[in-house]
Structure 1
C-alpha cells in the first residue's frame, strides 16, 4: 500500500468509513435536534404552568382562594400544584384545591404522600409564623418521563429505516466498482492482450486484479506456445508428406507391370488422410490465432449449397449414398465465402462419412424471418445423448469409433461459424434414425 499509485486509488475501507461516519453524524444531529424541539415544547408547558401558579399565590394569603381568577387561561389541570398555607396556630389560610386532602407536615422537606385520589410529591416549608406546602401529582412526573423517553426514541425510530436505506445505497455504490470489474473480466475475449484495467478498482482489490493479469499473461503465453507448436508441426509435416506423394507418383510411373499398384494405392490413401489432417490442424491454428477474416461479401446460400453438394457428390457416389438438395429458399448473407464453404463442407462430409451404404443425405435452405437455416439431414446412426455435449471437442469421435475421420471437422466448423457470427447446432431426427446438422445464419436480405 506504499505505492503512490495505490494511495491515489479509491479504498473500500476509507470510503465505507467516511460514508458511515457521515451517516452516524447525521443520525446524531437529527435525533438531537428533534429531541430538543419536542422536549422544549413539553417542558415549556410545564414551566408556563409554574409561572402561572406563582403569580396566583404570591404575596399575603387572602381570605378566599384565587384559583378562579385565570379560568380563561388554557392549561392542563393535572399539571397544577396544590398549594396550602397554614398560620402558626394551624389555621388554614389558603388552599388552591380544597377537594384534595393532603395533611399538614411538621418538618421542612420533601415527602411522598398518598391520598384517596392519588399519590403526591410534597414539599413543606415550616416557619415560625406559617407553614407552606406545595404538592404535585406523581403521575405528572411519570407522564413527563414517559413523554421524554418517547420523544427521544421517536427520531431514532424514524431515522433507522432511513439509515438502512442510505446504508444500502452506500454498499451498492461501493460494490458497483467491483461489479464493473467483474463485468470487465467476464466480457474479455480469450485472445485479448491488454491486462484488466485498474483505473476504477478499489485499492484493496488491486493485488487480486494484478494476480488475475499475471495468470492471464501466463495463460496467453501457454496458448500461444500451443498454437505455435500446432502450426509449426503442421508445416513441418507438410513437406515430408509432399515428398512422399512425389515418390509414390514416381514409383507408380516406374511400375510398368503393376506389381505394386495395390500397395501404392493404400499408401497414397494414407498419405492423403495425413495431408488432410495436417491441413485441418493448420486451419485450426489460424482460427485459434484469431487471424483477420477475409473481406465480407454477399453470399448466395443456395449457390453455396449447390456447389458444396456438387463437390462432395463423387464421395457420396463412391459410398452409394443419395446426396441431394431438397429445399432452396433464396437468401443472401454477408460474410467470408471461404469460411462458409469450410463450415458447410465439413457438415455435409461428416454426414456422408457416417451414413451407411444406400443411405440418404438431404441438404435444405430454409428461411425463417431474418435467419436462414442450412439443414443437413442424414440417415446414419446419429449421436448418443450423453456424447452430444462433446461433439465440438477436438479429436472427439462419436460412435462408431472405427469410422473414418480425424475428429476435427465439427471443431473447425464451429470455430469458423463463431468467426462469422453464425451458429452450428446438432439434433437427432424425430422422423427416424439419423442426425440433423444446422448452420444458422443471420440474413442481410431475402430474395423475392
Structure 2
C-alpha cells in the first residue's frame, strides 16, 4: 500500500475500532455488574421490608402474586413450615440460606436473599436467567450509542485526513502543472512544518537545476561560437586548395588544412573533456590512485609537443602520494597543465612538475619560465574560452577551465602564483595523503 492517505485512514480506522471494542467491552461488563448489584439490592430491600411487617396485607399480597413480577416471596415458620408463597410455581427453592445465595431447583438456578426473625424466615427469590437477561439488555442499551457514533467518527477521521493532506496534494498539483521550462520556486507560505522542508528541498533542487541549465546553455552557445571560426577557416583553406594551380602551392594549402583540422580536433576534444568534468555529469568514478603514476602516464602524450617546442619536461615525485579519484579525469588535468606550461614556456627552457605531500595534503605543482599571469587576471583565466596571451599559437581557452572543474570534482583546489623559475606556478592540492615512486625526468626525448 503506497497511498499515504490510505495508510493514515487504515491506521486511524483500526485505532477507532480497537477503542470502540475496548470501550464497549468495559461498558458492557460495568453495566452488567451494576445491574446485578441493583437486583441484589432489590431482593434485600424486599426481604427486609417484609421482615418488619407483622403480616402481608391483601393489597400487597395481590401485587406480589402478579404473574409479570419475576420475584417470588416465601415465608416459613421458625420450625420450617411454609406459611406463604407469593405465587404458585412448579419448582421453588425449599430451603433458605440466610443472606444472598444461589439455589438450584429442577434445573433452574435462583438468586435468593433470606432473612430470619424469631417467628419466621422470609426469602425473596428471582430466576437467575431473568436477571441475566435483564442485565444483558441494560448493558447492550448502554453500548448501543457507540454503534451510532463510530460511523460518524470514521467519517470525521476521513474528512480530517483529507484536510490534513490537502497541502501535500496542492504541492503535487503545482509541480504537475508546471512546464519543463518553469523553474521558479514553489510557494512555501502557509505550508505545515512537515511539508515545508520537502518544498524547500525541491526549491533548492530547482535552483541548482536552473543554474546548471544556464551554464549548459552558455556552454553550448560559447562552443558554437568557438567552432564557427575553425570550421570557417577549414572551408577557406579547402577553397584555396581547390584553386591552387601549382603543386608547391597545393602542398602549402594541404599543410594549412591539416593544421586547421588538428586545431578543430583539439577544440572538440577539449569540449568533450570539459563536458565530462562538469559538476553533476556523473561521468567520474573514484578509486585509490598513485598521483605520481597518473601524472607520469599523462605526460607521455605531452612529451612530443614539448620536444617540438624545444622544452624540457621534468617530473619529480620523491615519495608515493595517494589520492582517490578518476584516473582519466586526473590525467586530463595533468595534460592540460603540462600543455599550457609548454605552450607559454620559452624555447630551450624547462617545465617542472612535482608530486609531493605538503603538510598532509597531496599536491601537484607545475612551474614554468614563461611570461606568467598578472594577479589581476589569475581568476579570469579559469573562464571558458578565455585566452591569455604570451604563448605560441592560439589555445582553446579551455585548459584551465578543465583543470578547475576536475580539481573541484575531486575536492581539490587550484592556486596560481609566481614561480621561482620566473613564470607561473600552478598548485593543485588534495585533502589526501602520501604514496608513490621517486622522481623521474622527461626531457627533450620521450621517456624510456
- Normalization by structure 2: what TM-score? 0.45
TM-score in terms of structure 1 length: 0.45
Tell me which of the two structures has the higher relative contact order, counting C-alpha pairs closer than 8 angstroms and 6 or more residues apart. 2
